[in-house]
Amino acid sequence: MTSNLSKQERLAALRNKVAEKNKSQGEGRQKNYAYDKFYPFYKADIGKSITVRYLPDRNEKNPLFYAEKVYHEIEVNGKKHRFQCHYHESGKTESCPCCLASQDFYARAKEAEKRLGAKHPEVEALKKQGWRFYKRVEYVANIVVIDGGEVDPNEGIDPESPVYGTDVRILPFRKQIYECIQSGLTDPELLTAEPHDFEEGHNFMIKVTAQGENKSYNSSGFRPKPSALDPDLTEKVIGELYDLSEVQIVPRFDVERIQNIVDEALGNAPAEPAKKASGNVPKPSRVADDYQEEGDDEHSPAPSNAESVSEGVQSKASSILNRLKNRQS
Ligand SMILES: [Zn+2]
């Protein structure tokens, strides 16, 4: 078994070696082929499975192998708007008009509930509005496809794209797969090392099962047997890793544009003024369009301290990973 230190040094050296190459490739990736990096695992049919290996985040500040993406999805006059949450986008320094609208509705629902009771239609309507403006969460991770079955590792990539033929793809996932990851991380019997460890990690199997007429990913999980990635493949994928903090699943709108959408949704304003998106904004996400999970549209009431719940889970996963890391040495 290699010591942690030498492993880290080796990884650092490899990262440096390919940093230059990535810099030039990075721009091309963002500019014209914004969504080519996403692996459309959800194209797999019910009864099939896909095996992937999670890889580390190129952003070394992230102790996890995945990152949370927070966005809003709101329909106004038949048009669906998707954009990153401004609060999260600003590093939690500026408030988000859409989150504020949601909080306002939930606060009013709470007040109304005291007067009218939880089941009153007015209370239900206010909660529904709160949920309409509430943030959505999706996760992204670097992966290499070990066995895609019918979903080719290059599925969905334009052959002209600079990422065609590369091995690293981004796995976009929601609650179901997230919970399968968490239950694997918290199972004391299952993992012997960090799942994204190149030499001693664990592959992850995405199992597609039926839940009524929908696909479910609830039975996914880490493979109990650890395995090493091929050393040549390891070197290649280290050069291709994405910085998850830079991965966008939906466009980034400036705060005025978000405010306009919120105003329009509240019926306070005429149609959103035609505003040119500023900067390097990719087209709306194909990922979110194609990918539905059971329960996506439920307007479950938001927990009052939603922010700290989410952060608590993240830091819990991070401490589990640290424990696994220490177990190796
Ligand atoms: Zn927001």
Q: Is residue 152 pLDDT above 90, yes or no?
A: yes
* CA 117 to centroid of ligand 1, rounded, Å: 28
Does 39-94+132-328 carry CATH code 3.90.580.10? no
Q: Is residue 201 pLDDT above 80, yes or no?
A: yes
What is the pLDDT averaged over residues 196-219? Answer: 95
Interatomic CA distance for residues 247 and 140, integer angstroms? 8
The b/e string for 77-90 (b: 16+ C-beta within 10 A; e otherwise) is eeeebbbbbbbbbe
* CA 73 to centroid of ligand 1, rounded, Å: 10
Interatomic CA distance for residues 196 and 143, integer angstroms? 9
* CA 254 to centroid of ligand 1, rounded, Å: 12
pLDDT value for 155:
94
Supply 119's token pair: 């089941």
Instruction: Quote the DSSP letter at residue 41.
Output: G
**pLDDT class for 321, splitting at 50, 70, 90?**
confident
What is the pLDDT averaged over residues 268-296? Answer: 54
* 3-state DSSP percent of the chain in helix, strand and coil, to 5: 40, 15, 45
The closest of 166, 249, 151, 252 to 208, measured between CA atoms, is 151
* CA 188 to centroid of ligand 1, rounded, Å: 36
* CA 95 to centroid of ligand 1, rounded, Å: 7
Instruction: Work out whether strand 79-84 and strand 66-76 pair parallel, antiparallel, or are unpaired.
Output: antiparallel
Return the minimum-mean-pLDDT range out of 85-89, 175-179, 290-294: 290-294
- Please state the separation of Cα 169 from the chain's center in Å: 13
Q: Is residue 50 pLDDT above 60, yes or no?
A: yes
Q: Which contacts qualify for 159-165: CB closer than 8 Å, 24 or more apart? A: 161/29, 161/32, 161/33, 161/36, 162/25, 162/28, 162/29, 162/33, 163/29, 163/33, 163/36, 163/37, 164/36
* CA 146 to centroid of ligand 1, rounded, Å: 36
Q: Is residue 297 pLDDT above 50, yes or no?
A: no
pLDDT value for 283:
47
* CA 314 to centroid of ligand 1, rounded, Å: 19
* CA 87 to centroid of ligand 1, rounded, Å: 5
pLDDT tens, residue by residue, 74-132: 999 999 999 999 999 898 999 999 999 999 999 999 999 999 999 999 999 999 999 99
* CA 191 to centroid of ligand 1, rounded, Å: 35
* CA 72 to centroid of ligand 1, rounded, Å: 6
